[in-house]
Structure 1
Amino acid sequence: MKILVIGSGGREHALYWKLKQSPKVTSIVCAPGNGGTDNNVDIAADDIQGLLNYALKHKIDLTVVGPEDPLCLGIIDTFQEHGLVIFGPNKHAAQLEGSKDFSKSFMVRHNIPTAEYHTYTDHRDALNAIASMKFPLVIKADGLCKGKGVIICETHKEAKDTLHEIYVNKQFGEEGNKVVLETFLDGYETSLLCFVSNNRIFPMETARDYKKIGEGDKGENTGGVGCYSPAPAFNNKVKANIDKILANIEVGLYHDDFDFNGILYVGLMIVGDTPYVLEFNTRFGDPETEVLLPRLQSDLVEIMMHVENDTLQQSHLQWDPRTCLTTIVVSKGYPGTYEKNIPMILNDDGLVFHNGTKRTETELLSVGGRVLSFVEMGDDLITLNAKLNERIEKLEFKNKVYRRDIGLI
C-alpha cells in the first residue's frame, strides 16, 4: 500500500513511524512533513487541491490526516468524492471540534455531562452575563483558533478584557464571532482517544498530558509539553460513568445522522467520581499520540482499514502493558514569541518524535515552539523521567527549555 500522512508535527511523525512498521506498506510520504519524517513532499496541510492532485497522480491507497484544519475544511469529503480512501471524519462530523457551541449542544442534547454554558454572539450580552457569573470562568471562542481559543479568567476584569480582545480587537477573527461562557470545573484531566467506525466507538488506552509551561504546573497554557499513558487508574464508579458517556455519544451520533469514521478525542475532567466532557477533538491528540502509538501493538494500517470497512472490533486493539512517557523540548519563549531556524545536534539512539524541525543538507533546525518529543517505555514513571532528563541534557540546542517534572506530579 502507498500511504500519505498529512501534517508536520510530532503527532504526524508518530503516525508516520507507526504506519511505516506495517508489512502492508510499500511506500509512505508525509506532506509537508518535518525533520524527522524521511520522505516529505512540500504541500501544505490545508492545500486540499494540491493534496488531492498528489494522491490521484501517485495512486495513494490510504491517506491519514493529522491536524484539524484540513478536516474542518472538508478534505475527507473531497477525497471520497474522487474515490480515494482517507482516514478521518467528514466535514459535518469535524464540527464536533470545529465549533464549541456545536459540540456543547450535542452533549446537552444527548445527556453527556459537561460544564454549564451559555453562548453569545453579541459583545454587550456577554458582558451582561459575566456580571452575575462565578469565577474562575472559562471563555471559549467558538472556532478552532489554532488551539488558543480557551481562556480561564480568574476575575471579572480578566473576563471583561478577554471579551474585548475577542469581540473588539478580533483576536481570533471570525472564529470569535460566537463565544461560549462556561462554568469552571476543578478536578483532574484525562484524555481518552477512541477509534470510531460507522458511529461505533472503540476506546484506546488513557493518557494524561501536561499543558502548563512551567514546572509544578505553573505558567501559561501550551499545546502540551509532556504526556504519559496509561493515566492513573479510575475507580469502578468513574469507569462506569465513562462507559455511560461513550454509550451516550454513540447514541447521539446515530440519532443525529452522523456518518462518523476516524478518531474522537474525548477530553475529560474528573470531579470526585463524576467525569465531565470538556471538549471533543476529531483527530489524534498531540502529545497523546506520541505515547499511545508506541504502546499500540496492533498494525495501525489494519485498524484503519477495519474502520473503513466497518469491521473493527475492540479485540483488534492490543496494547503493551508498560508505561510510555514523553517530555517535549520547546523553544525558549514558547508559548509566546521564540526564535526559529536555530541549529541543534541530536545525538540520541532512543525514540524521538520531531514536533517542529526541518533539515537542510547539513543541519537540523528548530522551526516550531514545540521542537522534539523524547519518548521512553518502562514500568515506572520515576525511572522513565530520569532517563528522559538524562537524554535531553545531551541535546545541543541553545534555546532548549523543558520540564524536568513530567510524570512526577
Structure 2
Amino acid sequence: MNTVWFKKIAASPRVGKLFAAPGNAGMEEATVVDIMENDLDGLVAFAKQNKIDLTIVGPEVPLMLGIADKFQEENLAIFAPDKEAALLEGSKKFAKDLMVKYGVPTANYAVFQTAEKAKAYIHEMGAPIVVKADGLAAGKGVVVAQTVDEACRAVDHMLVDKAFAEAGAAIVVEEYMQGREFSLMAFVHHDRVFPMIAAQDHKRAFDHDQGPNTGGMGAFAPITEITDDVLATAYEEVLEKTANAMVMESKPFTGILYAGLMLTDKGIKVIEFNARFGDPETQVVLPLLKNDLLQVLEDVLAGKDPGLQWKNQSCAGVVLAAAGYPATYQRNVPIPSCSATDHCFVNFAGVKQDGERLVSSGGRVLLVGSLAETLDQAAMNVYENITALNTSEGFIFRSDIGR
C-alpha cells in the first residue's frame, strides 16, 4: 500500500487520528495497525472499538471479499464499492460483458476456460493479440502477445499451469489496440461522477516500453496531448455510462472508478477498470488536487458536488522497484536514505522496518515524485533526486518517465 492518499487525508485540518491497516513502515502520517487487509472481521472490530468515522479502502483484495458490505451491515461509514460493484475490477469478463451491453467502447473479445479452444481462436484471429486472466492478478495477468506462439504460451501459463490459480480459471482473449494510452479516475456515488485529471502510466518494466507488464513503473499528469474534447468523450462515454450501467444492473458503484483507456484512430476504448485508487497514477494526480480530500469524499458520499479544483502545475513520479520485479525479486534490500525535499516527495510502498532501518518487502518499493511548472522540470527534479540517492544494485527504475 502506498502512502500518497494517506498524506492527502492527513493534510486535512479535520483529521484527528489516522490509522493504516496493515500499512507499511513508511507511513509516518498514520498509526500502523497489525490487521491484514483480508481480515474483514478484524477490521470491522477495530473500526467499532475505535469509533472510526470513515474507512477508505486502498487495495483490491478486500473489495472483492466484500469489505464494504461488512462495514455497511454494521452501520460503519466506508468509501468503497461493495462486492458486486467491485466486479468491474475483479472480473474482466463481467466488465467486458457490461460494456458491450451498455455501449461503452472497448476492444472485441472472447472468453475461454479451456486452452484448446483459446488457442484455436488465437490461430484464427492472428497476432498481435492480448491474453488476460479474468480475475485479480496484481497487475501481472495481462500478456500483450506479438506472435501467435507467444499468445499460446500465455494461454498455457494461465489455464494449464494455473499461474494465477482461480484468477486464471477463465481468460479473456482480446483484440490488440494501438494508440495513446492514458488513465482517468473519478469519484463516484451511484450516478454522480466527478472526474479527476488524466494521467499517463508506464506499465512496462524497462525504458522505451520494453519488457514485461508491471503494476506501473511511473506516471505523470496532466497530459497536454489529450484534448478537452477527448476528455469530455471519455467522461460521457466511459465513466458516466459505466456508472449508470451499474445502477441499471442493481449494482450501484460508490468509490474510485479508474478507467484505463486507449485513444485509437477509431476513438476512445476501455482497456480495463479498477475499483480503487490506481497506482502510480494516484501518486501524480492527488498532489495536484487543491481540495481537502477528506471533504471531497464526504461530499461525494452525501451526493454533493465536491467542486474539484486543480493546481496549474505538472507532476511526475518514478517507481524504484526491487531487482527482478515483476518476476522473482530481491527482498530485504536496505532502502537508501530518502526524504522529501523542496522539489521532491517520497511515497513508500513495499517497505518494512528492520531494526533502525527500512528494507524492501515488495516489488514496487517507493516512488519519488515532483511538482513543477512544467513536466520537463518535474521529471528533471525526480531524476536528480534518484541520482542523489545512490541506489544499490538491489533496485531498478525507468529513466524515461515524463521525458
TM-score range, shorter chain: over 0.9
Please, which moves more after superposition, 284-293 or 358-367?
A: 358-367
Instruction: State the partner residue of 2:260.
Output: 267
Shift of 1:293: 1.2
- Native 8 Å contact 2:291 2:308 kept in 1: yes
> Which amino acid letter does the alignment assign opposite residue 331 of structure 1?
A
User: Which runs of structure 2 are paired with 1:197-346 in the superposition (5 Å)?
Assistant: 197-235=189-227, 237-245=229-237, 246-272=239-265, 274-311=267-304, 313=305, 316-346=307-337
- Native 8 Å contact 1:346 1:396 kept in 2: no
Secondary structure of 1:344 counterpart: coil
Shift of 1:199: 2.7
- Native 8 Å contact 1:348 1:391 kept in 2: no
Task: Check if 1:29 corresponds to 2:19.
Answer: yes
Shift of 1:236: 5.5
Shift of 1:49: 1.3
Q: Aligned partners of 2:255, 2:371: CA distance in 1, in Å?
A: 26
User: Which runs of structure 2 are paired with 1:10-409 in the superposition (5 Å)?
Assistant: 10=2, 13-38=3-28, 39-235=31-227, 237-245=229-237, 246-272=239-265, 274-311=267-304, 313=305, 316-350=307-341, 351-398=345-392, 399-408=394-403
Please, which moves more after superposition, 187-196 or 376-385?
A: 376-385
Shift of 1:326: 0.5
Secondary structure of 1:175 counterpart: helix
Q: Aligned partners of 1:235, 1:367: CA distance in 2, in Å?
A: 40
What percentage of aligned pairs have identical amino acids?
40
The CA deviation string for residues 221-278 of structure 1, in whole angstroms up to 9 with x for no partner, is 1111110111234335534432431332233123212221111001100013601011
Counting matched residue pairs gives 396
- CA RMSD after TM alignment: 1.5
The CA deviation string for residues 8-38 of structure 1, in whole angstroms up to 9 with x for no partner, is x22xx11111101111110001111112212
Q: Aligned partners of 2:122, 2:266: CA distance in 1, in Å?
A: 29
> Which amino acid letter does the alignment assign opposite residue 58 of structure 1?
N
- Native 8 Å contact 1:344 1:395 kept in 2: no
- Native 8 Å contact 2:129 2:174 kept in 1: yes
Shift of 1:65: 0.4
Shift of 1:396: 4.5
Q: Aligned partners of 1:21, 1:241: CA distance in 2, in Å?
A: 33
Q: Aligned partners of 2:313, 2:255: CA distance in 1, in Å?
A: 26
Secondary structure of 1:165 counterpart: helix
TM-score of the aligned structures, taking structure 1 as reference length: 0.93
Secondary structure of 2:85 counterpart: helix
- Native 8 Å contact 2:138 2:215 kept in 1: no
Please, which moves more after superposition, 348-357 or 238-247?
A: 238-247
Q: 1:27 to 1:118 in 2, by over 3 A?
A: same
Shift of 1:193: 0.2
Q: Aligned partners of 1:242, 1:82: CA distance in 2, in Å?
A: 36
The CA deviation string for residues 279-299 of structure 1, in whole angstroms up to 9 with x for no partner, is 111000010111111111111
Structure showing the higher strand proportion among its residues: 1
Instruction: State the partner residue of 1:4.
Output: none
- Native 8 Å contact 2:113 2:159 kept in 1: no
> Which amino acid letter does the alignment assign opposite residue 269 of structure 1?
M
Q: Aligned partners of 1:378, 1:352: CA distance in 2, in Å?
A: 15
- Native 8 Å contact 1:376 1:387 kept in 2: yes
Q: 1:91 to 1:332 in 2, by over 3 A?
A: same
- Native 8 Å contact 1:77 1:91 kept in 2: yes
The CA deviation string for residues 48-106 of structure 1, in whole angstroms up to 9 with x for no partner, is 11111111111111111001100010000001101100111011100010000000001
Q: Aligned partners of 1:217, 1:176: CA distance in 2, in Å?
A: 25
Q: Aligned partners of 1:233, 1:159: CA distance in 2, in Å?
A: 32
Runs of 4+ residues over 3 Å off in structure 1: none
Shift of 1:187: 0.7
Q: 1:346 to 1:268 in 2, by over 3 A?
A: same
Q: Which runs of 5+ in 1 are unaligned?
A: 1-8
Q: 1:53 to 1:157 in 2, by over 3 A?
A: same
